[in-house]
Amino acid sequence: MNYKYKYIVIEGNIGAGKTSLARMIADTYNARLILEKFADNPFLPKFYREPERYAFPLELSFLAERYTQLKKEIGHFDIFSPFTVADFYFMKSIVFASATLEEDEYKLYRQLFHIIYQSLPKPDLFVYLHADTPVLVENIKKRGRDFESAIDEKYLLKIQNSYFSWFRQNPGHTYLIIDINNIDFVNNEEDYEKIRDLIFRKRHGKGLNRTILN
């Protein structure tokens, strides 16, 4: 199979299933898998308890961690894998920062972000898994992470709006937005095949490409 993409990023709001899909694609195609390392971030539980106090150190720590991880892992070429799939990209930093930081903090953060962003390779395809906020809340509850228990629909909606703002402001990339509200690609093989078909068999132009799966 001749893969048209060498670097695919699976993005989405909290609880959308991006890590699950990235793992499934990597297993299906023997692709190189890059997963975000966030579990050990000491600021994350503190942020969910006191967001105003810990937002800035949290976002700075993620900025540094994501850059370090991507610079190291993307720079390493794997001859045994047909392509690379990741469950995050560096732009996630600015998406979350714009939703969590105060205006003066965000201005400083944005300057740092763009300096670093220019030095990283860009994905061939962004896949964004879109689910309504009630669905996301239910998924978050199911996975049972204590530090995520304070996440509500209002916060998730801010993150969603921030993602779409980034897409609109950066039309030079290729975005595949998949509405997954009516499918279960983790437990239903046919639903997973629908997503695979969209990613690997359909053509997508630069800018926003939207699909609702049923």
Would you please indicate which residues are annotated as catalytic (active-site) residues? 87
DSSP structure string for 176-193: EEEE-TT--TTT-HHHHH
Assess contact for 151 and 137: CB atoms under 8 A: yes
What ranges in 30-182 are assigned the alpha helix state H? 43-49, 51-74, 91-100, 103-117, 133-143, 153-169
Residue 104: partners with Cβ closer than 8 Å, 6 or more residues away:
none
HSE, CB side, 13 Å, CA atoms: give it for residue 107.
Answer: 2
Which residue's structure tokens are 């695919």?
8
3-state DSSP call for residue 7? Answer: strand
CB atoms within 10 A of CB 51: 14
